[in-house]
Amino acid sequence: MSDIFISYARSTAAQAQQVAEALRAQGYGVWRDDELPAHRAYAEVIAERLSTAKAVVVIWSAEAVKSEWVQSEADQARADRKLVQMTIDGAKLPMPFDRIQCADLTDWNGDLDAPGWRKVVASIADLAGQGAPSAGAPAAAIRKLSICVLPFANMSDDPQQEYFSDGISEDIITDLSKVSALSVIARNSAFAFKGKSLDVQQVARQLNVAYVLEGSVRKAGGRVRITAQLIDGARNDHVWAERYDRDLTDIFALQDEISEAIVKALKLKLLPEEKKAIEQRGTDSVEAYNLYLMARQDRITGNSGDARRDESIVRLCARATQIDPGYARAWALMASGQENLRFLFGKEGDGGLAAAERALALDADLAEAHAVKGRILLEDGHMAEADAQIAIALRLDPESYDVNQAAATLRFRQRRLEDACRYWEKAAALMETDFGAPGMLTSCYTALGDISAARRVAQMTVARAEAALAQDRNNGRAMAHAVIGLTALGEVERVREWIDRALLVDPDNMIMRYNFACGAIGLNDTDAALELLGPALEQANAGFLNHIKVDPDLDPLRDDPRFQAMLAGAEARVASQRVQ
C-alpha cells in the first residue's frame, strides 16, 4: 500500500500531479485516483487506499471546499489523525478544518525550499517517516483480526431459495461489522466470489484478510440447516466449524449464535452494546423476515423497467407489515416500490410518502427510510427538503447501497455530475450485480469528458447487464444499459443489433426506449433518437420529465425544434393531468 493518499478536486489535477511527483522523488509511495485499476470498483479502492495510507494530503482549493467528497476524505483523515492540509489558492477552509494547521502553497511552482512545502514535508515525515524507496519494500502486513464472509451456498432443492441464503450471509456480515475489534470485508467484495470454485488461501491473500467464513444453507418446509466453518487464511486450518439443524422459527437466535461463536473463536470480547446491536433484527416474525428478503431480492435483481417488479415488492412488503406492523425496514422497502410505481409508471398514490414516514416513526435512525423519503420529496419538487433527508441518510449509513443511489440521483438532478459520480461509484461497489449505477456513470463521465473513466464503467455495465440477461433474457433495463455501455465503447454494430432485438422482445418498455435513444445520440443518429424518444415522451410522467430535463445525454438535442415540440407536448399533458 502507498504511504500517502492525495485528495483533491478535479480542477487541480495538475497541481496534485506536481505534489505527487515531488513526494515520490523523496522516496514516498504516493497514490491518487488517476491510478485506479480497471478491474476494481472506484469507491472500494478509494476506501481501501484511504484507510491504509500513513498520511492523507488534502489539496484545498475553491472547488475542493465545495466538494463533499474531498471533505469526506479529509474528515476521515482527521478522525484517523493523519491529515496534512495545504491550500493552493487561499480558499477559506470549511469547519472544522479551518482550525487545523494548513500550509500555504498559493502559486507554488515546485520549489522544494518554499516554507509551505517544507511544512508539508515535515508533517508527512512525522506520520509516514522520512521516505524510502518503495521498490522491494515488504508487502503490507495482513490485518490480524480481519475476516471475509463468503456468500453461503444455497443447498435447498429449490434454486429460488437463493434469496434466503444470500440474506443470511448479508446479515452475518452486518452482525460482525458491529464488532469494533473486527475488520469485516464489505458485502460487494465478498459476493464477487459467489458461485466460483474457491481456494480459501487465495481469497485470503487477495483480500488481505486473516480469516474466511464459508458455509451453506438448506431451507425446507419449517426446517433450516446451516453449516459454517471459520478458516485461518494463512494456514488453511479450521478454527471453528459447526452444523445447525433448527426449526425455521429459530433463525434469528441461530444467526446470533453463529456471530457470537465466531467472536469467541477469534478470542475477541463482545461489548454489551455490540451484543445488543447484533440481536436487533427489526422483527420477531420469521414469516415477515422471509417476505422482506424476497422483496429485497426483487429490488436487487428485478427489471426496474417493468412495473410488475415494483408491484411485487409492494405486495410482499404489505403482507410483511400486516404480519408485523412494527417492521420498519419492510415499510421503507414498500415505499421504494410505491415511489417507482408513481414516478416511473404514473400509478395512483402518494409515491410511498406515508410508508416512508411510518418507517421513520418506528425507527428514526433507519437510513433507507430517510433516503426513500428524500427521493419522494425530490420527485415532488421539494429540493431543499430532499437534500436534508439524504444528508441524514448519508450520516446514518454511508455504506448503504440505497442511500448512495439516492444521493447520486439528487446530485444528478442538481447537475452536480462529479458528486453524482462519486455516489454512483460507491453504489456500484456496494452491489456487485447492479448495472444501473455504472450505466449512469458512463453517461456522466462522458459528459465530463473523462473518456478513460467512461470506458472503464462502460465495460462494467456491459458485463453486469449480460450477467442479468443470462438470468432473464427479457430484462429490458439490462438491455438498455448494455446499449449505453456498448455505445461508449464504440461497438456500433452490436448497439444496433441489441436495439433491434430488444424492441422485438419488449417494444412498450418506456425506460428501455429512452436509453436506446441516448445510445443513438451517442452514435450521432439524431433521427433514430427522436423516433425512439417519441413514444417514451408520450407516456412520460412528471418524475420521468424531471430526469429528461437534466440528462446530459440529451444535450445534443435540446436545440432541435422537433425535440422541443415533443418535450413541450409532454409537459402540457402532465400539467393537464395534475389539474384534473
Q: Which residue has the higher pLDDT, 528 or 45?
A: 528
> Considering the entire predicted model, what is its pTM?
0.69
pLDDT of residue 43: 65
Residues 160 and 106 occupy one common structural domain: no
> Is residue 491 domain-shared with residue 548, that is, in the same domain?
yes
Amino acid at 87: T
Return the minimum-mean-pLDDT range out of 28-42, 156-170, 212-226, 408-422: 28-42
If asked whether residues 544 and 458 sit together in one domain, one would say yes
Q: Between the CA of residue 478 and those of 162, 433, 439, 506, 575, what are the distances in Å?
A: 21, 11, 10, 12, 31
* Mean predicted confidence (pLDDT) in 282-310: 84
Same domain, yes or no: 170 and 105? no
Q: Show which of 82, 97, 128 is a domain's final residue.
A: 128
pLDDT band, residue 323 (cuts 50/70/90): very high
* Alpha carbon separation from 409 to 158, 415, 424, 441 (Å, rounded): 36, 10, 9, 11
Percentage of the chain exceeding pLDDT 70: 94
* Whether the predicted pLDDT of 51 surpasses 80: no
Per DSSP, what are the bridge partners of residue 217? Answer: 154, 226
Q: In this structure, is residue 513 part of a structural domain?
A: yes
Most confident of 79-83, 93-97, 387-391, 424-428: 387-391
Check whether residue 60 and residue 25 sit in a common domain.
yes
Mean pLDDT of the chain: 84
Residues 448 and 577 grouped into a single domain:
yes
Which of 134, 127, 123, 128 is CA-nearest to residue 29?
Answer: 134
Range of the structural domain that residue 153 is part of = 146-281
> What is the tens place of the pLDDT at every residue in 131-184?
544 433 333 333 347 899 999 998 887 777 888 888 888 888 888 888 878 888
Predicted local confidence at residue 405, as pLDDT: 93
Q: Is residue 113 part of a domain?
A: yes
Last-in-domain residue among 84, 99, 128: 128
Proportion of the chain above pLDDT 90, given as a percent: 27
Let me know whether 81 and 189 are in one domain. no
- Write out pLDDT tens, residues 415-474: 999 999 989 988 888 887 888 899 999 999 999 988 888 899 999 999 988 888 887 887
As a dihedral over the C-alpha atoms of residue 172, residue 174, residue 177, residue 183, rounded to 10 degrees, the angle is 60
User: Distance between CA 351 and CA 47 in Å, rounded?
Assistant: 34
Residue 444 belongs to a domain with what CATH number?
Answer: 1.25.40
Q: Which of 153-162, 214-223, 383-392 has the lowest mean pLDDT?
A: 153-162
CB atoms within 10 A of CB 170: 18
Give the three cell numbers for residue 27.
522516496
Q: Looking at the structure, do residues 122 and 226 belong to the same domain, yes or no? A: no
CA distance to 112, 315, 367, per residue, from 331 (Å):
59, 11, 13
pLDDT at 40 (0 to 100): 56
> What would the pLDDT profile of 525-569 be if each residue is shown by its tens digit?
899 889 988 888 888 777 788 888 889 999 999 999 999 999 999
Q: What is the pLDDT of residue 368?
A: 95
**pLDDT at res. 132:** 46
Which are the contacts of 17, defined by CB distance < 8 A and separation ≥ 6?
32, 34
Q: How many whole angstroms separate alpha carbon 17 and alpha carbon 484? A: 32
The CA distance from 580 to 574, in Å, is 10
Residue 277 inside a domain? The answer is: yes
Note the pLDDT of residue 310: 92
Residue 486 lies in a domain: yes
> Residues 442, 580: one domain?
yes
Which CATH number covers residue 243? 3.40.50.10610
3-state secondary structure (DSSP) of residue 291 = helix
Number of domains in the chain: 3
Q: What is the mean pLDDT of residues 352-364?
A: 96
Last residue within a domain, chosen from 241, 258, 281: 281
Q: Are 106 and 156 members of one domain? A: no
Structure confidence at residue 374 (pLDDT):
96
Rounded to whole angstroms, the Cα distance separating 556 from 384 reads 29
The domain spanning residue 67 has which CATH number? 3.40.50.10140
Q: How many CB atoms lie within 10 A of CB 5?
A: 26
Non-local (6+) Cβ contacts of 403 within 8 A are: 367, 368, 370, 371, 390, 393, 394, 396, 397
121 and 240 fall within a common domain: no
Residues 443 and 562 in one domain: yes
Torsion of CA 57, 59, 60, 64, to 10 degrees: -110
